[in-house]
Amino acid sequence: MAERILLVDDDANVLNGYRRSLSREFLMETAEGGQQALALASEKGPYAVVISDMRMPGMDGIQLLSRIRASSPDTIRVMLTGNADTETAINAINEGSIFRFLNKPCSKEVMAKTITAALVQYQLVTAEKQLLEQTLSGSLQVLTEVLSLVNPAAFSRAERARRYIHHIVTAMNLGNPWQYEVAAMLSQLGCVTLAPETIDAVYNGEKLSPNEQAQYDAHPSVASGLLSKIPRLEPIAWMIEHQSQPVPKGDGSEGADMRLGAEILRLVLAYEQAIHKGASRSEAAHVLARQNTNFSPQFFQALVTLDPNAEEGETKKCRIEDLLPGMTILQEVRTLEGALLISKGQKVTPTVIFKLRNFHARHTIGGDVTVSLPKSTLAFV
């Protein structure tokens, strides 16, 4: 699919001229003025490249490209003007993060070369974003699943938090949702340093010794220290480090997304803990809303509508050899000696199946578990 380019000018003759000369090479669309350009961007989705005239009535090019940047950061922005003064150029670059600055009249050849360069830049930006959102997120999910087999209680909690956050960031329409989900997935990474009985005691509401409490309180910092060594994960490491307490005002070195992510992670983990202790979903959401009146009401509305069982269907006993990916384990699976293998609420994956089959073959666990089947699989069961 060809990437779309939007050309904005208040002069219809200029727009028609560029459209005639460039439409065979590029997928060109035009808008007469900033308001029409914003309406098209809202209706049709983000453009790969937006080229705007500087001097337009109502909304000039700097204002337009600044708003385009806010709504679609990946869009490459180009300024076209007959007023090539230094102040205009500086303002355009600073406020709109302009990729190129062209003087009018601009020849077809120069315009075509600029559009080509802008499209190359757009492909580089979106390819990097895809790498982060898909490849990195997928790799971290594999890491999380492996760690969940080492410390099932902690990482089962992380998986539940990730599912909750997926619903919340979708309902709040937040940008870059992958980073919030990855923060939830890895929020319990530091628990690998803790004894399993310490984790069990925490989740059972038992009082820890001072030494155990200090070790547990340190797990966010442990995880942050590990993740901060990975390029591009520094913001996620910061969110995880601040998951236990309200985010301090700070000195502004952390971005708004990082602060928001840390607060969302803190509240979701508190919500998950309240449910684990027996509170209803609605009760847990309303208590958190009363305790955090300065936080976004939209977040708590999303919590109230959250139904972690929405995709689940029939509950049944299932033999271990009949387990299928996508099912949810509805009971703790422990060895005959009492060691926790799989935590309640954990999703069945091929790795989980392999682990349970191995232990069953050694006759150290029972032969069936209680599961919930995804609604999408009911027709095949």
pLDDT for residue 83: 63
pTM of the complete model? 0.64
Please list, in sequence order, all residues whose beta carbon lies within 8 angstroms of the beta carbon of residue 253, skipping any fewer than 6 positions away. none
Give per-residue pLDDT as tens, 203-227: 777 889 999 999 999 999 999 998 8
Ordered domains of the chain (ranges, CATH):
4-125 (3.40.50.2300), 151-308 (1.10.3210.10), 311-381 (3.90.105)
SS3 call for 195:
coil
The helix-helix angle for 152-172 and 256-276 (nearest 10°) equals 120
Give the position of tokens 């890491």: 143
Give per-residue pLDDT as tens, 2-39: 799 999 999 999 999 998 999 889 999 999 999 999 99
Chunked mean pLDDT (size 10), the chain, 381 residues: 87 91 91 94 90 91 90 90 64 69 87 93 85 73 78 84 91 86 91 86 86 94 90 89 83 74 94 86 90 91 74 80 90 89 85 92 92 62 39
Give per-residue pLDDT as tens, 154-173: 888 888 899 899 999 998 98
pLDDT for residue 339: 85
The residue type at 80: L
pLDDT for residue 319: 93
Look up residue 135 and give its two tokens.
């490849």
| Rounded CA separation 311/307 (Å) | 9
pLDDT for residue 128: 75
| Bridge partners for 368 per DSSP | 319
The residue type at 219: H
- Taking Cα atoms as reference points, which of 357, 308, 335, 378 lies closest to residue 156? 308
